[in-house]
Structure 1
Amino acid sequence: MQNLAHIEPLGLPQTRRGHERCVALLESATELFLKRGFEAVSLDDIVNHAGGSKASIYKYFGNKDGLFKAICDYRRSLFFKDICLPFNVNENTDIRAYLIRTLLNFHQHIVMPENAAFMRLIFEQTGRNPDIAQYIHEQGPKHIQNVIAEILTQAHEHGLIYCDNPLFSAQFYFGILRNLEWRILMGIYDPKNDQETDKYITYCVDRFLEGHQKR
């Protein structure tokens, strides 16, 4: 059973049955939104697909926008759980290998058709609702940038790199994937080039680390 700890409904279900009902609503709504588009799907459509009643949606999520935010939280927890693995500088973790692996993990996730489709849906909805845009930015890109910034801070404090502005460096680091990400979102990415992508990521991380050495 998937964990709902990272989503923010109005009231998390306390029972196993309630937990399963909440997950079913999230997964059914996601499937319908991806298939038909957000605007074309009603709460009745979601309930008919998932079972239950609209009362559950109002109870857990408040409204359709609240449901969409919860879906983003839910998918974010699934998306990021295997991307940024634990980093412990005291266990002689190889910062270079860690940074390469994180980008490779990120790339492997965003090339999945459903993840790419959901990212397109997010862009569509953030253009419609500034509040959702701000929320998703805080919980998604900004969150993972802060995670990497903290890791860069640890590496700096232990003398592995020189990084006097870890947040800027984290933003720069994720910029390595920007061209690949756009190609995926526009549907022009060629998976035959995955080996070349691995070389590209390794090359960019090496240049990134060269730029984080004391002169």
Structure 2
Amino acid sequence: MYQDSPLSSYIHDLSAPTKRGHERCIALIESATALFLKQGYDAVSLDDIVNHAGGSKTTIYKYFGNKEGLFVAICDYHRELFFKGVCVAFNPTCEELRNYLINTLINFYQHILDPDHTAFMRIVIEQSQRNPELAAYLYNKGTQLVQNTIANALIRAAEQGNIVCCEPLYSAMYYLGILRNWEWQVVMGLNPQLCEQEILKYIEYAVDLFLAAHQKV
């Protein structure tokens, strides 16, 4: 059911079916997101979304199938934005691995502190608990893609002889755990008590330890 969400292929082809149709889809996604964040997933109906965005429920049924399909498309849409601004592919010709790893974590941390991101994560967790199939889809298209992006960066660095990395996916999982403590504090409604300078110091310290573990003995 979730192999290809309605927006996954659609958002990459702005001419299909029409520019106006694409704009209507984006408007519905943005309106539904705003309502879900404000009122919660269960409290929002398709009528509420249509009244907020304009148009009719026919458009939702046509492009997303139902409310659940619209939610999946929202997750896909936010994943597209995430990869544009937070987690990008590593290009060894433009950036050193250390700077890439540090900058990625800084981007992650700023993303974590975004109140809308936190609210959205809570909705995703809630809906995933209700629907194992949805949970598997969101993990494969979200968390696993991020892990693979970092793993590929480590593979490229190892190929150039800059590090030794026998298990790049394991290393990527370890790397992404560097900020897990702060992420869960924010998701649970706690306020991390560190200033930006302390966070940067911690990130640099953790990345240096990470890279030290990937050097030849």
| 2:70 paired residue number | 67
Provide the C-alpha distance between the structure 2 equivalents of 1:131 and 1:192, rounded to a whole number of angstroms: 37
Kindly indicate whether the alpha-carbon contact (under 8 Å) linking 2:89 and 2:153 is maintained by their aligned counterparts in 1.
Answer: no
User: Which letter maps to 1:41?
Assistant: V
Equivalence for 2:13 = none
1:114 has 2:111 as partner: no
Corresponding residue number in structure 2 for 1:3? none
- Read off the aligned partner of 1:45 and give its amino acid letter: D
What is the aligned residue count? 208
1:80 to 74, 78, 83: 83
TM-score (norm 2): 0.91
Give the distance between the partners of 1:146 and 1:108, measured in 2 at CA: 21
What is the identity percentage for the equivalent residue pairs of Structure 1 and Structure 2?
58
Q: Any residues of structure 2 matched to 1:27-176 within 5 Å, and which?
A: 27-89=30-92, 91=93, 93-176=95-178
Given that 2:89 and 2:149 are in contact with CA atoms closer than 8 Å, whether structure 1 keeps it comes out as: no
Mark the runs of 5 or more structure 1 residues left unpaired by the alignment.
Answer: 1-6
User: Residues 164 and 21 (structure 1 numbering): CA distance in 2 closer, same or farther, change over 3 Å?
Assistant: same
Q: Which residue identity is paired with 2:113? A: V
User: TM-score w.r.t. structure 1 length?
Assistant: 0.92
State the SS of the aligned residue for 2:85: coil
Distance 1:166 1:110, change over 3 A: same
8 Å Cα contact 2:182/2:192 also seen in 1: no
Deviation at 1:85, TM superposition (A): 3.3
- Identify if the C-alpha distance between structure 1 residues 69 and 172 changes in structure 2 by more than 3 Å, giving closer, same or farther: same
Which of the numbers 175, 183, 186 marks the counterpart of 1:184?
A: 186
Tell me how far apart the structure 1 counterparts of residues 154 and 89 of structure 2 sit (CA, whole Å). 13
- Note the C-alpha offset of 1:44: 1.0
8 Å CA contact retained: 2:111, 2:117? yes
Greater CA drift, 187-196 or 102-111: 187-196
Asked if the contact 2:31–2:53 (Cα under 8 Å) also holds between the matched residues in 1, the reply is yes
Alpha carbons of structure 1 residues 185 and 51: separation in structure 2 relative to 1, 3 Å: same
Is contact 2:87-2:104 (8 Å) kept? yes
Q: Which runs of 5+ in 2 are unaligned?
A: 11-15
Q: Which residue of 2 aligns with 1:203?
A: 205
Match of 1:8 among 5, 9, 13: 5
Matches of 1:149 and 1:86 in 2, distance apart? 10
For the aligned residue pairs, the C-alpha RMSD in angstroms reads 1.6
